Amino acid sequence: MTKRTNRRGFLGRSAAAGAVGVGYWTGTSPVLKAQESALQGLSAGCIGVGGKGGSDTSHIAENGVNIAALCDIDGDTVNKKAREFPDAEKFSDFREMLDKVGDKIDIVTVSTPDHTHAAAAVRAMRMKKHVYCQKPLTWSISEARLMRETAEQMGVVTQMGNQGTSEDGLRTAVEVIQSGAIGDVSEVHVWSNRPVWPQGQGRPEGEDPIPENLNWDAWIGPAPMRPFKKGVYHSFNWRGWVDFGTGALGDMACHTTNMPVMALKLWDPVAVTALKNPGIFEGETYPASSSLLFEFPEREGLPACQFYWYDGGELPREDLIGKLPKRFQEQIAKQREGGRKTSGALVVGSKGMVFSANDYGAQFDILPQDDFKDYQKPDPWLPRIPFKAGNDQRQKWEFVSTIKGEYEPGTMSNFGYAGRLTETILVGNLALRAGEGKRIEWDAKNLKSTNVPEVNEFVAREYRSGWEL
C-alpha cells in the first residue's frame, strides 16, 4: 500500500476495539472519512495545559500539529502556555472552546483532573475529534464504558496517556508471559509508592476567596459544587478526594498494572475484596493505605488468576519478597525502616516469575535468575514504534501518526483497551466503599455488584447541571 493510499484510506482510523492476543496485536479500523483540513495539516485544541498537560500540548505540536486553542481554568497557566503558542485562542471552559473552534480542530487533548475527563472527551468524540486523554481514562466505571463505546461508534483515533505502553520493554514482557516462559499464571502482585498527596482526612471548614484568574465553576465541572480552599483541591491534591480523583489506585494502576493486564487479559473481575481498608474517610477522601484482591475466572484458555494491589506502603507477603532480586530486597528493607516506599509488579507463574520495579513495566527480570540465565526471548510479534524518543513522545507520535494514516498498527492504548483497563481498576474503589473484608461480586457486563447493591450508586454519578454527558 502506498503512503498516499495510507493517508487517504486510513486517516481517522481507530484502534478503538483493539486487543492483545497471544502472538498478535490487532487494532480494528472503522474508517472515518478524512477531513480535508487534516490532509493539509492537523490542528488541536488542548484542554488542561499546565503540568502534564503542558508536555502533552508540546509533544502533540512536535508532531507537526498546529495548536489552535488552549484551555485551562487557571488564567496564569493558559497565558504561560500561550507564550509557546501565541496564535492559539485561549479559553477557561472547554465547553466554550469546543463550541467556538470545534470546526477548526481535528484533535483534542484532555489533561485535566479525573472528574472532567469524560465530560470533555465524550463531547469531543461526538464532534468526531480524535482524542488523547490522560490516565485514568475516567473518574467512574460507567464513564469508562461510555468512552470506549463512543470511540468505536464515532470511528475516531484515541489514546490514553499511560505512556509505558509505548515502551519496547513492556511489549517484550507481554510476549515473554504470553509465550508461556513462566508457565500458567495464578497470581499477580502490584504495589505502589502512592499516595504522595493527602488522603484519609475530612473536608476543611470555611472557604477562601476565589482567585480572580481562576474559573472555579469550570474546575468543579460535573462534580458537586464545594467552596474554594487554597491548596486543598486545586491544583494537585485533588487526587485524594473522592469527588475529583480516583486515589492511588486510579492514579498509578493504569501504569503499574498495564503490563500484566495486557499479557494476561485481566478484564472483568468477578469479585473484588478490600483486604486492608480503613475506608473512605468521612465520605471525602480515600484511605492513606489499602490492599485489594481482584479475582479473575478462566478466560480464553488462561487459568483463573488472583490480582493483589497494595498502596501506601503495603507490600506482598514475605515469601514472595524473598524471591525478588537482592538489590530490590535491600530497598524494601530500607522501606520497612522508614525509608522511601517502593513500587513493583510481580507476575507469578508455575515455572517462574516476571518482576518489574519500573512503574511502566519497561524493565523487568525473569526469576529465578539462575534458571533463566540462558533464556532467549521470543521473536517479537507486537508492533514496535519506530520513532526514537522518550516514551511520552513516542506515544504521541503513535497517536498522531495513526491519525495521519502513516502508522498502520494503530494506537495500542486506544480507548477500546484503555477503557477496559480503567473499568477493571476502578472496581477496586468500590471495594474501598464497601468495607474491609467484604467480597463484592461483580457483574462486569451490566456494571453492577450482585451481592452488595449499596456500592452500585458509585458506578456512575449524577452530573451537575450544565455538565451532563
Question: Does residue 28 have a pLDDT over 90?
Answer: no
Residue that the C-alpha cell 483497563 belongs to: 421
Using one digit for the tens of pLDDT, what is the confidence trace for 382-400?
A: 999 999 999 999 999 999 9
Q: Where are the domains of the chain?
A: 3-164+384-419, 166-200+230-380+422-458
Residue among 342, 365, 360, 363 at smallest CA distance from 192: 342
Asked whether the beta carbons of 420 and 444 are under 8 A apart, the reply is: no
Phi, psi of 234 (to 5 degrees): -85, 130
Give residue 13's pLDDT.
Answer: 36
pLDDT value of residue 15: 36
Contact predicate 460/142, CB 8 Å: yes
Angstrom distance (rounded) from CA 188 to CA 181: 16
Residue 210 pLDDT > 50: yes
* Residue 120 in this model has a pLDDT that exceeds 70: yes
In the DSSP assignment, the letter for residue 231 is T
- What does the mean pLDDT of the chain come to? 92
CATH topology of domain 166-200+230-380+422-458: Dihydrodipicolinate Reductase; domain 2 (3.30.360)
**Percent of residues, the chain, with pLDDT higher than 90:** 91
Statement: residue 29 has pLDDT above 60:
no
The residue type of 281 is: F
Please determine, for residue 38, whether its predicted confidence score (pLDDT) is greater than 70.
no
Higher pLDDT, 1 or 275: 275
What is this structure's pTM?
0.92
- pLDDT, position 34: 32
Encode pLDDT of 225-243 as tens digits.
999 999 999 999 999 999 9
Q: Tell me the pLDDT tens digit for each residue of 334-368.
A: 999 999 999 999 999 999 999 999 999 999 999 99
Mean pLDDT score, 12-20:
38
Compute the distance between CA of residue 241 and CA of residue 255 in angstroms, rounded to an integer: 20
- 216 close to 73: Cβ distance less than 8 angstroms: yes
- CA-to-CA distance for 244 and 48, rounded, in angstroms? 15
Amino acid in position 311: D
Cα-Cα-Cα-Cα torsion 187, 343, 273, 199, nearest 10 degrees, comes to: 180
pLDDT surpasses 60 at 20: no
Sorting pLDDT into bands at 50, 70 and 90, what band is 25?
very low
CA dist 80 and 369 (Å) reads 50
The DSSP secondary structure of 382-435, one letter per residue, reads: S------S-HHHHHHHHHHHHHHT--TT--TT-HHHHHHHHHHHHHHHHHHHH-
Kindly give the interhelix angle for 117-126 and 94-101, rounded to the nearest 10 degrees: 10
Spatial separation of the C-alpha atoms in residues 272 and 260, rounded to whole Å: 17
> 3-164+384-419: CATH homologous superfamily?
NAD(P)-binding Rossmann-like Domain (3.40.50.720)
For residues 10 and 35, give the distance between their C-alpha atoms in angstroms, rounded to a whole number. Answer: 12
Report yes or no: 145 and 419 within 8 Å, Cβ to Cβ: yes
Confidence of residue 40 (pLDDT cuts 50, 70, 90): low
Q: How confident is the model at residue 32 (pLDDT cuts 50, 70, 90)?
A: very low
